[in-house]
Structure 1
Amino acid sequence: MGTEMLRGTRGTVVWRGSDAYERTRRAMLWNAWKPERFPELIVTVASRDDVVRAVRFARARGLRVAVRGGGHNWWGSPLRDGGMLVDLSGLRDVVINPAARTARLSPVVSNRRLAAALAEHGLAFPAGHCGQVVVSGYLLAGGFGWNTRVWGPACHSVREIDVVTADGELVYANERDNAELFWAARGAGPGFFGVVTSYLVDVYPLPRALTTSTYVYSLADAEEVAGWASDLGDRLPPMVEPSFLLAAAPPGVTAEQPGKVAIVTAAAFADSTDAAVEALAPLDRCPAAGRALQAQVAVPSTFDGLFDAAATFWPEGRRYAADTAWSNAELGDVVSRLREPILAAPARESVILATLSPELRDVDPAADTAFSVAGRTLLDCYAVWQERADDAANRAWLRETMAALEPVTVGHYVGEADLTAEPERARRCYTEQNWQRLQALRARFDPDGLFHTYPDGVAPR
């Protein structure tokens, strides 16, 4: 099969048609839903030299390249028809420099592992909300994670990268060297035209009193609570990250309307218990607080605790479809548009999340990173189901829910957007200036289109 250029690869090479192919292909996605798309070969690398060798092989054979880190990949971006899939799952090193407050990360370090390793040194990072997600796709997409209101999007903490280009060369990039490549790597997401093999990131002092509060309300109170919460991000100190969810009732909570509830939750990244309690106190002043079906107030937590809580909404073994929308509308208006969709969801576990981060509304990413933020609230809609027979119904529900949000949508977050939804979905993840700059840089760094870019709005198969 002409594999001479792949000889010496420390990882594994699996060709389509081999006994191991379908098992390997399906293992490329965490999501139990697997699109019917088939690369010609899958190269699981064990070193950055393997990445160089794989890219050079693909270039010599005219094979387009897709890259897999190991995150959620809701629409299945690593799986493309034909070409080569470069699987980075063997690259998992973490090297921490406590004195410099930096960490050198291989691309497939999970958020949970990173947080635990940093905590041993009293340090932290704006890791993604789900523990099993890895840093590669997360950082490439911009990185909207924990304590973003203080630490900023995670890509703002990236100091330098090592990247294999479309020429098969390993280069170093930062704000001075290969600055344009560095700019693109911080936000281009699955449209990035290279393979990042290492990130050097800044890290921060670990908050000593991470604390959470959670209030569960009847769906009948959802619009009132959302109206009160519309400016909650403005009223809370930046170290508090507030969220609003429409979801299935948690264990022990009896909900009146088909098992659905509204949940207000917040995490305080404080340095003392007193500061955390004071910072979270406004949540108890909601007019509907006395009607809460459940309240867990000022509960000490850890990053592991945050990841465990997130895992209850996004469990393994489920089939998922997801999409996002940035909005500047009042949360009450947004929730009024979502009340009927959440009740109509064909699967009980489907969830809609609104993260309130008003500071990001004023961030101008154009000068520093490809990552483009456009809105005070990030809305994430997830269809979560179990049976293949229900695929069409759940995907239709997601599209209908996003259509209901369209009048209040000002953009999308490339890290979790369904880029197959329509041809302009990827473009709407960026300011127009950033989008045009990305296209120009792709033409410069990958003129032959070696790396797969954003899909053309085709429906997933």
Structure 2
Amino acid sequence: MDKKPRTSRIMRSNEPGFEAACMDTLFNKRTPINFPEILFQVHRVEDILEAIQLAKAEGLKVSVVSGGHSWSANHMRKNSLVIDMSFMNAYAVDKPRMQATAEPGCYGHTLMSALVKQGLFFPTGHCKGVCLGGYLLKGGFGWHSVELGLACENVVGLDIVTADGRIVHASDNENPDLFWAARGAGSGFFGVVFRYHLKLYRRPGFIGLNTHIYKFEHMDEVVHWMMGLRGQLSDKVELKISITRKSSVIHQPSIDVGAFVFADSWAEARAVTKFMHDCPIKKKASLRIPLIPVTMGIHYYLTSLYYPDEQRWAVDNIWTHAQPEDLLPSFHQLMKDMPPEPSFLHFEYWAGAARKRLDMAFSMEDDFFLTAMAAWKNPADDERHTKFITEEMQKLEPFATGTQLADENLNHRTSKFMSTENLLKLDKIRAKWDTDRLFHEWHSRPTS
């Protein structure tokens, strides 16, 4: 998708329209705690080099934004220059080599659309509008990632502008330490990636969805059933539940259960979703939609219904392997006091997906993933709703093993997002590549 303007632009904090331009870099319309001094919209590598030099000349730190889906607005930092990569959005597909290149401002759904037309696939992000830049750096929990691996595991190379103004390539064979860091450091990465080299796959023979929708009164039973499946599901299935304040289907609080399938055939898809047919509480569902083929475009559309534009969001998450009785009291409290729709809880089955990972910075996951998504529109409610989400997720810390950088709340709640060993290794690599600590890290980091 082509975006305007087509030339680089430098905006300073004392210029009219500066804060509005900064807010345009954010999907989350909640007012950030801080704003930068300079916003530099880049269109080519030379612009990135200029931005690095400008930051050094003015004594500013650097942060980077691509699609702006950082819920905590990690790039919005005081005394900083923001490099806006959203206009660098080109991609190219090399089917014979089963590889693609993509700039960080390329939307995942745009790349996916181009790939499926050629019978190809890559585990792009679930939400329409998410660009590849931050998504790939944070790990990349995407479509069909259970079997194909995290998106960052399918990055085979990166082209990077370093803190000292060099252009380098990183891969297993070139600058492997930088390559290790780029796959999982997220917004704590200390360089500007301007091109990703991606490994592609053949499009699955069958892409589909099997859905149950339950009234809110059945939440405990649904959660017990889902968590009881631990270790039993095929890697060709993504099982998620969304606990909503008002379902668009039954028009009341609901639990939407979705089994997203990426199989080789109809027969295989039916076999791997047998657990939905055998669900002991399925007769309590208000609506059951059997396994049907679904295009990736429909997958993106259905997901987008949970994330309407122009909302103010407070988002936090945990990884956990706790028992249902440990989690359900917080589920009930969150749903009782969260803002009205479109606020919701996202609970995802991940057991078994964490097979042996590549050696990379990414190192935090567990059997289940819970995200609380509070949304509202009135700026006067910012502090109240953000405080509520933060405090409720703090109550879950005894049952949490860490947090995922993709939906982090590190500006309000510090949580472990990487193994201690990997975080220490990352610090050593940072000291080599960013000696003057030009690049911002995360809002906060665990002490051990």
TM-score, structure 2 normalization: 0.94
Comparing 355-364 and 438-447, the one that deviates more? 355-364
Q: In the alignment, is the contact (CA less than 8 A) between 2:245 and 2:335 conserved in 1?
A: no
Distance 2:63 2:375 in 1: 26
Any idea what SS the aligned residue of 2:382 has?
Answer: helix
Match of 1:296 among 262, 269, 289: 289
Decide whether the 8 Å contact of 1:375 with 1:410 is kept in 2.
Answer: yes
Amino acid corresponding to residue 401 of structure 2 in structure 1: V
Decide which moves more: 124-133 or 396-405: 396-405
Equivalent residue of 1:235, what SS?
coil
Deviation at 1:279, TM superposition (A): 2.0
Cα distance in 2, alignment partners of residues 38 and 411 from structure 1: 28
Q: Which runs of 4+ in 1 moved over 6 A?
A: none
Q: Is the 8 A contact 2:147 2:353 kept in 1?
A: no
- Confirm or deny that 1:439 pairs with 2:436: no
Q: Which residue number corresponds to residue 80 of structure 2?
A: 83
Structure 2 residue 412 is the aligned partner of structure 1 residue 412: no
Distance 2:168 2:97 in 1: 23
Deviation at 1:237, TM superposition (A): 1.4
Q: 1:76 to 1:89 in 2, by over 3 A?
A: same
Q: Deviations over 1:393-442 (max 9, x none)?
A: 211221132123212100111121111123x42xx100111111111111
Q: Secondary structure at the match of 2:319?
A: strand
Is 2:92 the partner of 1:74?
Answer: no
**1:65, 1:419 → 2: CA distance?**
18
How far did residue 342 of structure 1 move?
Answer: 1.1
**Residue 254 of structure 2: aligned partner:** 261
- 1:448 is matched with 436
- SS of residue matched to 1:133: coil
Decide which of 283, 303, 306 is 2:299's aligned counterpart.
Answer: 306
2-side partners of 1:153 and 1:214: how far apart?
24
Question: 2:106, 2:324 → 1: CA distance?
Answer: 35
Matched residues in 1 for 2:282 and 2:325: separation? 16
In 1, the alpha carbon distance for the partners of 2:246 and 2:9 equals: 44
Q: What residue identity is the alignment partner of 2:211? A: T
Range that drifts further, 291-300 or 152-161: 291-300
1:287 and 2:280 are equivalent in the alignment = yes
**What is the rounded CA distance, in whole Å, between the counterparts of 2:249 and 2:127 in structure 1?**
23
> Do the aligned partners of residues 148 and 335 (structure 1) sit closer, same or farther apart at CA in structure 2, a change above 3 Å counting?
farther
Within the candidate set 328, 334, 337, 1:335 is matched to 328
Residue 376, structure 1, aligned to residue 361, structure 2: no
Instruction: Give RMSD over aligned pairs.
Output: 1.7
CA deviation profile, 1:254-286 (whole Å, cap 9, x unmatched): 5xxxx3222211111023223222322211222
Aligned to 2:15, the other structure's residue is in SS state coil
Is 1:357 matched with 2:354?
no
Show the counterpart of 1:241.
238
Give the number of equivalent residue pairs. Answer: 440
Aligned to 1:162: 159
Residue identity in the other structure for 1:325: I
Find the counterpart in structure 1 of residue 412 from structure 2. 421
**Aligned to 1:306, what secondary structure does the other structure show?**
helix
CA distance in 2, matches of 1:227, 1:28: 40
Quote the Cα distance in structure 1 between the aligned partners of 2:196 and 2:444. Answer: 29
Answer yes or no: is the 8 Å Cα contact 2:64–2:84 preserved in 1.
yes
| Match in the other structure for 2:380 | 389
Match of 2:148 among 125, 147, 151: 151
User: Aligned in 2, Cα 1:112/1:33: closer, same or farther, shift over 3 Å?
Assistant: same
Task: Give the share of equivalent positions with the same residue, in percent.
Answer: 30
Tell me, in whole angstroms, the C-alpha distance in 2 between the residues paired with 1:81 and 1:378: 32
Contact 2:141 2:151 in 1 (8 A): yes
Alpha-carbon distance in 1 for matches of 2:72, 2:80: 18
| Structure 2 contact 63–439 (Cα < 8 Å) conserved | yes
Q: Secondary structure in 2 aligned to 1:28?
A: coil
Deviations, residues 190-231 of structure 1 (Å, cap 9, x unaligned): 110010000001011111321101111122221122111114
CA shift at 1:348, angstroms? Answer: 3.0
Structure 1 counterpart SS, 2:291: strand
TM (normalized to structure 1)? 0.92
Q: Secondary structure at the match of 2:254?
A: strand
Secondary structure of the 1:429 match is coil
Contact 1:233–1:242 (CA<8 Å) still a contact in 2?
Answer: no
Is residue 119 of structure 2 the alignment partner of residue 131 of structure 1?
A: no
- 1:118-161, CA deviations, whole angstroms, 9 ceiling, x for partnerless residues? 11210011111101100000000011111111011110000000
Query: Is there any run of 5+ residues in structure 1 with no aligned partner, and where?
Result: 1-8
Q: How much does 1:238 deviate?
A: 0.9
In the alignment, the residues of structure 1 paired with residue 26 and residue 236 of structure 2 have an alpha-carbon distance, to the nearest angstrom, of 34
Local SS of the residue matching 1:13:
strand
**Which of 198, 205, 210 pairs up with 1:208?**
205
* Aligned amino acid, residue 315 of structure 2: A
Alpha-carbon distance, 1:332 to partner: 5.4
SS in 2 for 1:35: coil
Instruction: Out of 96-105 and 259-268, give the one that drifted further.
Output: 259-268
Structure 1, residues 33-78: CA drift from partner, whole Å, max 9, x if none?
1314221111100101111121122123322111111141101112
Q: Distance in 1 between matches of 2:248 and 2:134?
A: 32
| Contact 2:245–2:340 (CA under 8 A) maintained in structure 1 | no
